[in-house]
């Protein structure tokens, strides 16, 4: 089965895929960042709640945003205590501002999305990002991840997800745009009025070789 990751044309199967996956058990670094913030925390790309619901169980007050109505339907069934808004992140215009905005799963690799995160920060607020590492992605073949160039010059990425019942669902990203590399981070943050506070990977991974990396920045 193949499902498409397309916020402009939401695929119901994409939401069903993430609803079938188990909750995230490793909440690094999100839980520590959220605990140090004045609530609530704005969560961009909240999806079905694989990270959000465990954070909420841990006592974190969240406001969630996602463009996919099916994702939010699953989230609301799972945890009605999380306030959620349906919107493209780039178009988001909430009235309130936040001490911390988080964006897992490379949702803030897009400059328009990062601009929206910054618009919703309080003075001296922070934004936390998880970004796919382009060095890792382009370094060779990876089990369950495939990147290929299409005839029109764009790139397509496929990611295999093995469900608890043993079946495999393939997530397809039609227009895969390579995100910023770690060495480009400070310059990119500066363009958005942000200052780097910390950048790194999980404890068992080096930043160079990690599939994704984390960034925490503050509004200057």
User: What is the tally of structural domains in the chain?
Assistant: 1
pLDDT at 191: 98
Domain for residue 76, yes or no? yes
With respect to residue 173, please indicate whether it lies within any of the assigned structural domains. Answer: no
Which pLDDT belongs to residue 174?
Answer: 86
164 inside domain: no
Read off the pLDDT of residues 41-100 as tens digits, 9 standing for 90 and up.
Answer: 999 999 999 999 999 999 999 999 999 999 999 999 999 999 999 999 999 999 999 999
The parent domain of residue 65 ranges over 2-139+179-219
pLDDT at 178: 76
Q: Classify residue 156: in a domain, yes or no.
A: no
The residue written with tokens 């093995």 in the block is 162
Q: How far is CA 62 from CA 12, 39, 56, 158, 191, in A?
A: 24, 8, 7, 30, 27
- List the CATH number of the domain containing 33: 3.40.50.150
Q: Is residue 162 part of a domain?
A: no
Q: Tell whether 39 is covered by a domain.
A: yes
104 within a domain of the structure (yes/no): yes
* Strands (DSSP E) found in the chain: 2-4, 41-44, 62-66, 83-86, 98-103, 121-132, 145-149, 155-162, 168-173, 194-200, 212-219
Q: What is the pTM of this model?
A: 0.95
Is 165 part of any domain? no
CA proximity to 102, closest of 68, 57, 56, 65: 65
């Amino acid at each position: 089965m193949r499902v498409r990751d397309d916020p402009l044309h939401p695929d119901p199967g994409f939401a069903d895929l993430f609803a079938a996956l188990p909750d995230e058990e490793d909440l690094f670094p999100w839980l520590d960042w959220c605990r140090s913030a004045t609530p609530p925390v704005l969560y961009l790309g909240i999806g079905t709640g694989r990270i959000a619901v465990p954070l909420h169980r841990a006592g974190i007050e969240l406001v969630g945003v996602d463009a996919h109505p099916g994702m939010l339907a699953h989230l609301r069934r799972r945890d009605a205590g999380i306030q959620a808004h349906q919107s493209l992140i780039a178009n988001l215009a909430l009235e309130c501002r936040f001490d911390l905005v988080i964006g897992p799963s490379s949702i803030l690799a897009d400059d328009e999305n990062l601009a929206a995160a910054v618009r919703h920060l309080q003075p001296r607020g922070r934004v936390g990002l998880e970004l796919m590492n382009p060095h890792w992605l382009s370094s060779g073949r990876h089990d369950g991840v495939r990147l290929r160039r299409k005839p029109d010059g764009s790139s397509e990425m496929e990611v295999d997800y093995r469900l608890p019942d043993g079946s495999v669902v393939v997530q397809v990203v039609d227009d895969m745009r390579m995100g910023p590399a770690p060495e480009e981070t400070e310059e990119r943050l500066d363009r958005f009025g942000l200052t780097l506070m910390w950048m790194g990977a999980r404890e068992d991974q080096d930043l160079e070789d990690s599939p994704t990396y984390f960034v925490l920045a503050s509004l200057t």
